[in-house]
Structure 1
Amino acid sequence: MLPTHGRHGYHPWRGRPRWNWPGGARLAVYLGVNLEHFAFGEGLGAELAPGANSGGGPQPDVLNHAWRDYGNRVGAWRLLETLDELSLPATVLANSAMYDHAPELMAAHRARGDEVAGHGRTNSERQSTLPEAEERRLIAESSAAIARQEGTPPRGWLSPWIAESRATPDLLAEAGYRYTLNWCSDDQPVWHATRHGPLMAIPYPQEVNDIPAIIARKDGAAQFAEMIVEDFEERLRQVRDGVAQVMGIALHPYIIGQPYRMRALRRALAHVAARREAVWITTAGAVFDHAAALPPGMIPGG
């Protein structure tokens, strides 16, 4: 027998129960906006070009640090304008360091009523490398910062770099989290077993996501925008006579906030927004609320 995570069993797509999202929709769409801060001269970080983090040169890696910070200084504000123009809600996946680094940006999302989910302290570290006590402290510190600023604790979590230890789901449930975005193994929410009760895994994309698409696969702006539209249209076709789905779109302002990419993204998001009568455009937290209230047996893993 192969080792297993033990969080949930296998649930074939065919034969699952039929149910709807609010308004009778079969497709829920949410935007995951990643607001991230990075240490200068040390730690992890995505790279525009090979630099110090990949052994290409000594720290400080000014080129890549400045490129990442462009997202918080400029790109995120351009993305906010587009979200306002199209009346689109967002789930903000926030490093807690953002409250000190860019408080005005966090306040702008708060003013829109966007959901804020936990995303660690900073994307310069991975929680998967920490002993359990230190990982528990990371989750607690990040959660407390969000609760102080937003008035309520976050209910959802995305690990920096989507890096989990074997104990991460247990620690999240212990800390009061209700859902995780770390698992991309399904197109529906799935209940995960933990030491502290069930934790819902809500689909978070690793395909319709600008980091793997643009940084890893080197897709162009138009290709990424087309990917959003094609994914959306194919899902609409599938749910006509099929089971309900969740479509996430993962965005990082230092990538998608570049002007030529924003122009292509705006076209794709306008295409989605134009079909809002046929789909439920929402937040990850609202996906949790609806799915958790369904009768037992509707959500896999329960």
Structure 2
Amino acid sequence: MSLDDSYFDYPHRKRGLDHDLFAMRYLKDAPRVDFGGGTRLALWVTVDIDFFPLDMPKTPFLPSGGLGRPYPDLWNFTTRDYGNRVGIYRLLEVLGARGIRPTAFVQGEAAQRMPALMDDLAGAGAEFAAGGWSMGNLHATPLPAEEERALIAKTREALSPWAPELAGWHSPASSETARTPDLVAEAGFGWIADWANDDMPYPFANGLTAMPLAHDLTDRAILFEQNQTVQQWAAQLGYAADVLLSEAETAGGRILNLTLTPWVTGQPYRIDAVAALLDRLLGLEGLAPRSAADILQSCQFLKEAA
């Protein structure tokens, strides 16, 4: 059997990246970031406000936490719903008591269905960012461009009463088509948190800034997907903080992202572990909480220099 020569024709084969979304950059070569006030490590706390539809599709893939049992999967649906009814308020209380302003990645359908929760998030001082439309509407091939553009637009519209100048975007389950970043930029967003390839922000060619969401350190990844204990989860966050603080001594400011999922860590048997973890992190010299807007303000020169 022989292959046609065109089989080996890949126009993006070259040194560096196989796309033009952003320039190749190694963190070791990046300019130093100064968060001010003696802060070497910015603690960026994010909270996911998701909506899992009861009739959610199983394709193109089932996202983490997706309803996988035959319809109606009430066991999984109500467990996820618990987070938005109960768990989020435990998290907001723990964060508020420590002066931490979280970034809330809110899905459009969640905002549309739960305006009272949105009011409470706003009252707690949360920084709003878009989390896509719902866990049943993933951004993945073969989603047509116009349908994807419409999902982004209606998500922005649903959040607009609480965040008229919405800046951040995170696709459901970090899903993307090849055009998602361009459509997000086209819709007027300023940053995106779907890419897990850096510890610090970096600029896209289309004007977006990529924010470093630490997917592997999320409570959903460690506690739900990997079935590890809260002690193991907290230990891994602590190890990450120690290493990043050490690197920041010579390389400049670093960011530690802590993502909290209300139906995972908002449970009564885990909330004390969240509080203890935050106290341990906030007790580290050189660490302080920062919102996405604060972080981007300190890193603005990276975008200007690109």
Name the TM-score, length of structure 1 as normaliser: 0.89
Gaps of 5+ in 1: none
| 1:290 is aligned to 2:302 | no
- Corresponding position of 2:192: 180
The residue correspondences of 1:58-69 to structure 2 (distance < 5 A) are: 58-69=70-81
Deviation at 1:295, TM superposition (A): 7.8
Task: Find 2:149's aligned residue among 136, 139, 150.
Answer: 136
- Corresponding position of 2:174: 162
- Corresponding position of 1:247: 256
Aligned-partner Cα distance in 2 for 1:34–1:273? 21
Q: Which amino acid aligns with 1:139?
A: I
Deviation at 1:106, TM superposition (A): 1.6
Q: Which amino acid aligns with 1:112?
A: A
**Contact 1:117 / 1:156 at 8 angstroms: preserved in 2?**
yes
**Which protein has the larger Cα radius of gyration, Structure 1 or Structure 2?**
2
**Contact 1:188 / 1:246 at 8 angstroms: preserved in 2?**
yes
Q: Which amino acid aligns with 2:33?
A: W
- Corresponding position of 2:101: 89
Task: Find 1:208's aligned residue among 193, 212, 217.
Answer: 217
| 1:32 is aligned to 2:46 | yes
Name the TM-score, length of structure 2 as normaliser: 0.87
Aligned-partner Cα distance in 2 for 1:165–1:231? 30
Aligned-partner Cα distance in 1 for 2:115–2:64? 22
Deviation at 1:81, TM superposition (A): 1.1
Deviation at 1:293, TM superposition (A): 4.4
**Contact 1:34 / 1:94 at 8 angstroms: preserved in 2?**
yes
- Corresponding position of 2:237: 228
Report the aligned-residue RMSD: 2.0
- Corresponding position of 2:5: none
Aligned-partner Cα distance in 2 for 1:295–1:222? 38
Q: How many residues align?
A: 287
**Contact 1:222 / 1:261 at 8 angstroms: preserved in 2?**
no
Aligned-partner Cα distance in 2 for 1:6–1:221? 40
Provide Cα deviations, 1:125-158, integer angstroms capped at 9, x if missing partner: 20224211111110000001111x2152310000
| 1:279 is aligned to 2:292 | no
Deviation at 1:279, TM superposition (A): 2.6
Provide Cα deviations, 1:54-101, integer angstroms capped at 9, x if missing partner: xxx421111111111110111111111101121111000001122233
**Contact 2:282 / 2:288 at 8 angstroms: preserved in 1?**
no
Deviation at 1:204, TM superposition (A): 0.4
Identical columns (%): 29
Deviation at 1:13, TM superposition (A): 2.7
Gaps of 5+ in 2: 1-12
**Contact 1:42 / 1:60 at 8 angstroms: preserved in 2?**
no
| 1:42 is aligned to 2:50 | no
Name whichever of 98-107 and 58-67 sits farther off. Answer: 98-107
CA distance 1:151–1:251, shift in 2 (3 Å):
closer
CA distance 1:36–1:47, shift in 2 (3 Å):
closer
